[in-house]
Structure formats: C-alpha cells, structure tokens
C-alpha cells in the first residue's frame, strides 16, 4: 500500500476511534485538543523522540498557561487592567521558549500548542459584565484549583497525551500497512 494511503487510512480509523472515545466513554476529554497533539506529533518528526517532545511540550505549555491564568484571575492581576494582563502573558510566554535548550522541551511549537489550547479552552465562556477577576467565567476559570477533569490543566494535558499517543499509533500502523509482502 502506498505510504500516503496507509497514513491516511491509519489516521482515519484511529481518528474515528478517538472521536468516539472522547465523545462517549472518555467524555469530557477534548477531541480537538487530542487532534492538536496528534498533529504536533507529526510536525515534530513523527517518531519516538517526537512523542516525548510532544507530550512534554504540550504538558509544559499547559502548565505555564495555567500559571498565567492563576496569576490573572486568582490574584487580582486581571483587575489591574490590560497592561498587567499583557505583562503576565509576556512573562509566561518567555518561559515557553527559554527552555528550548532542554531536549524534551526543544520543540517550541509543542509548548505553544499546549499553552494556547489551555488558555483558549479556559476563556471559552464569556464573563459577566462588570465581574471581578475572581468572578469571571462560569466554567474552566472557576475550576483552576480543582483536582478533576473540571480543571483545564488536567483536562488539556490528558486529552493531549492521548492525542500524541494516537499519533504515534497511527504512524506505527501506517508503517505496518506499507511493509512490502515477501
């Protein structure tokens, strides 16, 4: 089977399985976050090293985003205005890149994907007009300190780890499908 067909088929089958699991028995895992990590796996090289870099980078980015969200929404920094919020973003994204000399965190896009997915998910619900930093949001921002899937940090990391693993599995399946028969 040609390599492109094998890869397309393996991603289609495993993508359907991932969607079923995330929307069904593994709900509330995030289908889209898993696909971001899946794409990141291939973007980072599509091998075992890429799997490590994707998982570590996505998780690290999610952690740094979570810290930014805590600083902005749980310490009152968000009430200090746009400049203060931008300052927190600037400082935290600095840490996304400065760690690139560490092999496991050297795929800066993986770090950014984890950060962006966590912030995007956490801010997906509108804030009440005139709300203080502690009152903003009705979902993820209210759960930054919980110990379950309600916490965006936990939910995004687990969704992205499974997505990266699915990327690895689809790559392995693709290789098996392209092996020449003797």
| Residue 41: pLDDT over 90 | yes
Tokens 């795929």 appear where? 107
Count, residues in the chain: 182
d(CA 174, CA 168): 10
Tokens 């950014």 appear where? 112
Residue 182: pLDDT band with limits 50, 70, 90: very low
| Residue 126: pLDDT over 70 | no
Annotated domain spans of the chain: 3-178
| Residue 137: pLDDT over 80 | no
Residue 111: pLDDT band with limits 50, 70, 90: very high
| Residue 128: pLDDT over 50 | no
């Amino acid at each position: 089977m040609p390599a492109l067909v094998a890869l397309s088929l393996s991603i289609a089958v495993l993508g359907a399985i991932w969607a079923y699991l995330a929307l069904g028995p593994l709900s509330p895992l995030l289908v889209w976050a898993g696909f971001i990590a899946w794409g990141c796996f291939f973007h980072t090289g599509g091998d075992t090293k890429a799997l490590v870099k994707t998982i570590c980078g996505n998780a690290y980015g999610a952690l740094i985003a979570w810290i930014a969200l805590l600083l902005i929404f749980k310490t009152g920094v968000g009430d200090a205005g746009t400049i203060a919020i931008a300052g927190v973003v600037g400082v935290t994204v600095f840490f996304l890149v400065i760690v690139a000399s560490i092999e496991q965190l050297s795929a800066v896009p993986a770090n950014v994907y984890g950060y962006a997915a966590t912030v995007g998910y956490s801010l997906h619900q509108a804030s009440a007009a005139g709300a203080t930093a502690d009152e903003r949001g009705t979902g993820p921002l209210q759960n930054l300190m919980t110990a379950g899937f309600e916490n965006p940090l936990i939910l995004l990391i687990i969704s992205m780890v499974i997505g990266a693993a699915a990327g690895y599995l689809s790559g392995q399946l693709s290789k098996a499908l392209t092996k020449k028969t003797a």
